[in-house]
Amino acid sequence: MLSTRRTDMTEADLYFLYRGVYVPNLIHTEASLDYFQNFTFRPEDVLIVTYPKSGELGLDGLSVLNLFPSSQLWC
């Protein structure tokens, strides 16, 4: 069985340094991190933050009902 894992990659191939933090370059680019760093929230924006596997679907539903009380989503 052949391994598909590359062993010739160095840490420099996998990560880059962004403002003192090593970031995996397969997920982010420096441009995407700059965008998030300079992102501005509006006063009407709502953030929904949960831990993984903690019932986030129910929280989404409650948030919709809170923002749009006449919503028929859960009937």
Using CA atoms, how far apart are residues 54 and 72, in angstroms rounded to an integer?
24
Between 4 and 42, name the one with better pLDDT: 42
Using CA atoms, how far apart are residues 68 and 74, in angstroms rounded to an integer?
12
State mean pLDDT over 10-39.
89
How confident is residue 41, by pLDDT bands cut at 50, 70 and 90?
very high
| CA geometry: angle 9, 11, 14, nearest 5 deg | 75
Q: What is the pLDDT of residues 53-75, one digit of tens each?
A: 777 667 777 777 777 776 565 55
What is the value of pTM for the model shown? 0.49
Using CA atoms, how far apart are residues 30 and 23, in angstroms rounded to an integer?
9
Which phi and psi (to 5°) does residue 24 adopt?
Answer: -65, 125
